[in-house]
Amino acid sequence: MKPFTYERPKDVAAAVKAIRTSPGAKFLAGGTNLLDLMKVEIEAPSHLVDIGRLPLANIETTRDGGLRIGAMTTNTQVASDPRVRSLYPVLAQAIVSGGSAQLRNKATTGGNLMQRTRCAYFYDTAKPCNKRQPGSGCAALGGLNRNSAILGASEACIATSPSDMGVALAALDARIETLTAEGVTRSLAVADLHRLPGDTPELETELKTGELITCVVIPAAPTGGQVYRKVRDRASYAGGLVSVAAVGNRVAWGGVALKPWRAEKTEAALAAGVPIPEAVAAELAAAEARGKNGFKIALVGRLTAAALDETFAGRRA
């Protein structure tokens, strides 16, 4: 690990200012992703701004009946909150399906959304990776790409997003609120937070340098059932292969792209009365297999159909 300086600001404005005035600085929340990356020198910030004790760990009911979840709220706090469990069970299910209990006790809401890919070649500094070193190439294209993307990928990167929470939040039409380095607040849909790789996979989100997520806002709970389903090689201590969040007619997928993937063509087909199998196929028509990950196309199709059957059954009940 390379040397770095450290500070713990007292408020959000001071945290943002510290990033703005310290080139090469990074926010440190729960540290469950950043510290691991620092140990293997994939991340090498010159300065850490510890935001773990900022007053951003509350869960509040909004005027429209939704929830505002502070960015420093831990995954365990969110998943165990009675309002989340009763109004947004898909979110509780997604959180519990991701990581161990120890990680959920430390990982934060904002940090979960900002965690970086789990692509094996991203973590292997002996192999080329355009996310680590732009222009070096993508070793996954011709390598062990069983976990790679089937949607929204490019010749520069076929990595996937690891966030289960993000998939559920995308299906719930959640938004993040942020504070920029210039002190300006703004709002952005969770589904629009991450960028697809294109020719610049090193640019991962739509956030500006020094911009801090302060909270996640979920609108009032929609009608209909809510289901989160996930497939992985083993039941614990293993990343997901694919996952599905179904909220009524809304569908989001995990493990298929470098962002939580909102299946908008499937949603539109369902709204038009198209049967579930055909509606799912409408979205998967653009899926592309790359070597060893072709099984994901059929797998996410079956998983989505099963999840939608369950949500519609809940609606009929």
Q: What is the mean pLDDT of residues 94-123?
A: 94
Amino acid at 12: V
**DSSP letter string over 289-305?**
--GGGTHHHHHHHHHHH
Question: Do 66 and 23 meet the contact criterion of CB atoms below 8 Å apart?
Answer: no
Task: Give the pair of three-digit tokens for residue 50.
Answer: 């510890």
For Cα atoms 308, 312, 317, give the angle at the middle one, nearest 5 degrees: 150
Task: Give the pair of three-digit tokens for residue 181.
Answer: 């380095």
pLDDT exceeds 60 at position 315: no
Q: What is the pLDDT of residue 316?
A: 39
For Cα atoms 278, 282, 286, give the angle at the middle one, nearest 5 degrees: 145
User: For 12-34, what is each residue's pLDDT tens digit?
Assistant: 999 999 999 998 999 999 999 99
What's the whole-number average pLDDT of the chain?
95
User: For 121-173, what is each residue's pLDDT tens digit?
Assistant: 999 999 999 999 999 999 999 999 999 999 999 999 999 999 999 999 999 99
CA 54 – CA 214 distance, rounded (Å): 10
Task: Count CB neighbours of 291 within 10 A.
Answer: 14
On the 0-12 / 13-18 / 19+ scale of CB atoms within 10 A, 313 is: exposed
CA distances from 83 to 50, 94, 167, 224, 255 (A): 29, 15, 19, 17, 27
Q: What is the mean pLDDT of residues 95-110?
A: 92
Please report which residue ranges of 247-294 form alpha helices under DSSP H.
264-271, 276-284
For 316, list phi and psi in degrees, rounded to 5: -65, -30
User: For 219-230, what is each residue's pLDDT tens digit?
Assistant: 999 988 999 999
On the 0-12 / 13-18 / 19+ scale of CB atoms within 10 A, 159 is: buried
For 43, list phi and psi in degrees, rounded to 5: -105, 135
Considering the entire predicted model, what is its pTM? 0.96
Q: How many CA atoms lie within 13 A of 34 on its CB side?
A: 22
User: For 244-260, what is each residue's pLDDT tens digit?
Assistant: 999 999 999 999 999 99
Question: Do 273 and 212 meet the contact criterion of CB atoms below 8 Å apart?
Answer: no
| Local confidence band at 314 (pLDDT 50, 70, 90 cut-offs) | low
Task: Give the pair of three-digit tokens for residue 154.
Answer: 């490019």
Amino acid at 38: M
pLDDT exceeds 50 at position 317: no
Task: Count CB neighbours of 281 within 10 A.
Answer: 18
